[in-house]
Amino acid sequence: MAQSAPANGASMAERKKSRSDFRFGKVLGEGSYSTVILAEEKTSKREFAIKVIRKYHIIKERKTKQVMREKECLKKLNHEFFIKLYFTFQDEENLYFGLRVARNGELLDRILAAKKFDFVCTRFYAAELIEAVEYMHSMKIIHRDLKPENVLLDDNFHIQITDFGTAKLLEADDVSVTRSSSFVGTAQYVSPELLKDKQAGKGSDLWALGCIIYQMNCGKPPFQAQNEYLTFQQIIKCEYEFPEEFHEDVKDVVKQLLVIDPQDRLGNRDAGYAELKSHLMFEGVDWENITTEQPPRFMKTLNNPTNGVQGVNELVDDFDQALLSDATGPKPRSQSSADCASYDPADAEGTGLPLDMSASEKRDWLKKQEDTEWNSFCKGQLILKRGMMEKKRGFSVKLRQFLLTEGPRLIYIDPATLQLKGEIPWTSKLSVELKTFKNFYVHTPNRTYHLIDKTNNATKWCKKIQEVSRHYFGNSEKKGS
């Protein structure tokens, strides 16, 4: 039985590790320039989440400073509520970060599974987040991309904040950092000062905290429109509403965090975090012993999310370099610039088309789709991702063309006869489970579909299916849309 990584990583730094020291299991996640893989150290049998970062891409995309900044932040943050960095090493191709395994996946998946948290659960995780953000700011670090996807849960359901790729280390007593024209953050959680003034500081993290607390208590973010532009307009005007059943104490905290002027936000005023912690919502919270408090039992009753970690399986001694996340997207088969211009992200190797594109962009893609042999199967709906995969059932393996379309629909076709062979029924309970770079499962209430992508892009399929599912079923208002 594999053991979790030790609480103190000091003893593990005695000698530099190498890729050959580990056996590798399932993919835990992908970033824009990295892939996180569950791994077991051969000698100690300890488990780690190893973040593999391709040197070629961080140099090409000029992300070297970003990677070094993440490493520096992780080394500085010595607190139970943050992902622990145990070791780093590198070879000719990659950088490797050895991280603590967050066995219970993302906070977002727990919110979606619960539909919404009750007051006790919302207060517990809001308090942990406040404690973590206060500590982070005391270390002169602002996260700049706080969101439920970047809040993981450990073995005991305590938070583990991760992903410091866009974080910033502040100088002296700075409270804000001026950006150029680049965008930092995620649409639903980005602060108005970043959108208007290209600035993000401690107050920006508090704004994101307000958005997360709101989402925990009602199941959806406060700012959510048909596309990013409209979402940004809501944020700039601070236009949002509370559902009738929203808890009054939680509402008051959110109203004092979601304030246009960052200096007026609760926790960023003269009294600092003491004022936020003393709010009526947190009455009874033992701030001195918060890291050892027992999480609500309710969390353990939720269905296990698809990105939870159940342990290393299908171990291999190494992985193929070509399978790692590609920051620039898959390269077209031809190397000519003309072929690059015609590359379709919906095809077998692509990441898929976005759901929030403009009306004109959608018309253009639908026009291109008309010239394909798959258009007649789509009933006027846009193909978001397509590709040839094997569908395995028992000892039977069938090659099928899969189409993921708006609706959502996931249909499969016999590529030889061009006959529709079936459709995976899509409900709010549909989930995906990544097993290897090739193999993944689509779980429905009545059946599990075993799919094999021989182009090694199972990760991209899982990510796109999850994205589409969240778009249509992420909250009750979107059900049936």
**Which residue numbers are catalytic?**
145
Measure Cα distances from 265 to 95, 189, 217, 268 in Å. Answer: 39, 15, 20, 5
Ranges assigned E (strand) in 315-408 = 383-393, 396-405
**Cβ-based burial of 460 (10 A; exposed 0-12, middle 13-18, buried ≥19):** buried
Of residues 444, 457, 481, the one with CA closest to residue 402: 457
**Residues contacting residue 376 through CB under 8 Å, at least 6 positions apart:** none
SS3 448: strand
Closest CA to 50 of 11, 111, 100: 100
* Run of H or E residues at 66: helix 64-76
CB-side neighbour CA atoms (13 Å) of 327? 16
User: Do 132 and 290 touch, CB atoms closer than 8 A?
Assistant: no
What DSSP element (H or E) covers 200? strand 199-201
CA distance 25 to 363: 41
User: The tokens of 351 are what?
Assistant: 């990441």
CA nearest neighbour of 246 among 289, 285, 213: 213
Give me the long-range contacts of 215-218 (CB less than 8 A, separation at least 24): 215/111, 215/148, 216/111, 216/116, 216/117, 216/121, 216/122, 216/125, 216/126, 216/148, 217/116, 217/117, 217/119, 217/122, 217/246, 217/247, 217/250, 218/116, 218/242, 218/243, 218/245, 218/246
| Helical H segments across 160-312, by residue range | 192-197, 202-218, 228-237, 248-257, 273-277, 298-301
- Taking the C-alpha atoms of residue 197 and residue 146, their distance in angstroms, rounded to an integer, is 19
Task: Give every CB contact of residue 184 below 8 A, 6+ residues apart in sequence.
Answer: 144, 145, 166, 190, 194, 200
Cβ–Cβ contacts within 10 Å for residue 182, how many? 7
Peptide bond into 192 cis (omega under 30): no
Please report how many Cα atoms fall inside a 13 Å half-sphere around the Cα of residue 168, on the Cβ side: 20
